[in-house]
Amino acid sequence: MKTLKLTLISLFTVSLIACKKDGKETESSKDSLVAKKDSVAVPEVHQELYGIYMGDFAGKEMITSEDGEEYEGDVYKKLALKINRITKDSVYGQSIVNGNQRPFRGSFNESSKSFTLDEPGNDKTDGRFEVKLSGDSLTGKWSVFNKKAVKSPLKTLKLTKKQFVYNPNFMLDEDSNLVDWENPKDFVEKYTDEETGKTEKYTTQKNRVASDAVFKLNASKQKLSEKDLKNLRKLDLEIIKNSVFARHGYAFKKQTYRNFFEQTDWYIPVSNNVDNDLSPMEKENVVLLNRFVKYAEDKYDSFGR
């Protein structure tokens, strides 16, 4: 009986060793197959089409006029499509609109020179781009997957290929509109009738407005001092600070800042985070500007739209 027990124990030990050994061989074989698969890179094609295509993204929406009436009109936004990689079967890249960056995947039809590009679908604003290539331009349409999720479920687009370049000399154009249309504020005004002498109060809306200082101070080129900033308006400080991020291709979510930088021909949004791209001087200037923004005041004026 003792001999039988020893024999069984020996057989169990041998089996256990064999199992472990087989396990290692299986894992090794599996790893070998994965390595072999990874070593064979999927060839890329049409690399000349890689890059950023930017332009108008237009759709019809209900618009409220100044007198409160609603009507259907064309609403234009800026769209950037970035094509990162093309293979025989797939196209990879990202779209950026309203500061919202979404990945896409699709296909390229060589015979028709057209792309079909699908955003993931896990965001209510995701949809499909169907665009045709002509030279350095992309034209076509975008349709949302969930038609009840957005105001304009179908949009047209006309994009031109652009090259993003960081340049510390980039500034707002001197003929730029310096009004913040997105944050009107109510003010109570008084009106005195000259004939009757009666004074009445009424409420009017005014908008923030920047000064010419935004054309003179460049936080990417000069070390700013407290003396440079102490008399500036809050909107001045915000524009000077965000010019730094705009030069690095930051995709602004706030419409206020997009309105300013989309007036230029150099602003190309490429990323939702450019913090690591800022130079040491730019970072120091941003810290100083943030401190002044906190306590600065705005100047308001009345403007028609």
The 10s digit of each residue's pLDDT in 23-73 is 333 434 433 333 344 445 889 999 999 999 999 999 988 887 777 788 889
Distance separating alpha carbons of residues 288 and 272, to the nearest angstrom = 22
**What is residue 199's predicted lDDT score, i.e. its pLDDT?**
87
Distance separating alpha carbons of residues 69 and 166, to the nearest angstrom = 43
- The number of angstroms, rounded, from the C-alpha of 140 to the middle of its chain's C-alpha atoms is 21
pLDDT bracket for residue 124 (50, 70, 90): very high
End-to-end CA distance of the chain: 102
The predicted model gives 278-300 an average pLDDT of 97
* pLDDT value at 146 more than 70: yes
Distance separating alpha carbons of residues 70 and 144, to the nearest angstrom = 23
**What is residue 40's predicted lDDT score, i.e. its pLDDT?**
53
DSSP letter string over 69-136? Answer: -EEEEEEEEEEEEEEEEEBSS-EEEEEEETTEEEEEEEEEETTTTEEEEE--SSSTT-EEEEEEEETT
- Residue 63: helix, strand or coil by DSSP? strand
**What is residue 195's predicted lDDT score, i.e. its pLDDT?**
81
pTM of the model: 0.81
- Residue 260: helix, strand or coil by DSSP? helix
- Angle in degrees, CA 76, 77, 83, rounded to 5: 130
Domains along the sequence of the chain with CATH = 47-162 (2.40.128.120), 179-301 (no CATH)
